Structures are given as structure tokens and as C-alpha cells.
Amino acid sequence: MSQLMAPTHTNADQIPRLRRIREIMKEKESSFSLSAMAKRLSISRETLRLMLTGDRAIYLVMLEKIAQDLNVPVARILQAESWEQDPKEKI
């Protein structure tokens, strides 16, 4: 009988960071297209696309370059998601 082994590493922890990078890119609008940003980072558009979809790891050095290019602190990209609402708030 075979056993399924859980992966020792997943990219699930990267998903909020990737979402945040894409959101910041949208805020910055046209100057932050994938092609333009990849060129400024000296990587291919495909490499950047893979990073932003979670199919390729983003190492700290590249995360720092992305933050610098977006003109935001790395902390903004790394901040925890805050989905909790104030119980007094009504939707």
C-alpha cells in the first residue's frame, strides 16, 4: 500500500505577497506593465510572470529589487493580510 507524502515546501506563503505586488503594480498603472518592469529588473517578462503567479520563487534579493522598482518598502509587500473587520462595522 502506498502512502501520499505531504510536500516539504509549498509556495502558499508567497500568495499574499504576490497578490500585493500585483495590487501595487495596478496602483502605479501603465509604467508598471510586466514588460516594462521586467526590463527595469533585468529579467525576462516570462520570469517575472512566473514569479507573480507563484510558479517561480521570489528570493529576498529580487523582492528588494521589486520593492525598489515599485518605490515601496519591502515591509509593505511582506505585511500580513488583514481581513478582520471591526465587529461594529456593518457591511
State how far the Cα of 35 lies from the Cα of 44, in Å rounded to an integer: 8
pLDDT recorded at residue 53? 85
pLDDT recorded at residue 9? 43
4: DSSP letter = P
Domain ranges of the chain: 14-77
29 touches 37 (CB < 8 A): no
pLDDT recorded at residue 67? 93
pTM, two decimals, is 0.66
pLDDT recorded at residue 62? 93
CATH number of 14-77: 1.10.260.40
pLDDT digits (tens, 9 = 90+) for 30-88: 566 889 899 999 999 999 989 888 899 889 999 999 999 999 999 988 876 554 444 45
Interior CA angle at 17 toward 16 and 23, to 5°?
Answer: 90
Residue predicted with more confidence, 80 or 89: 80
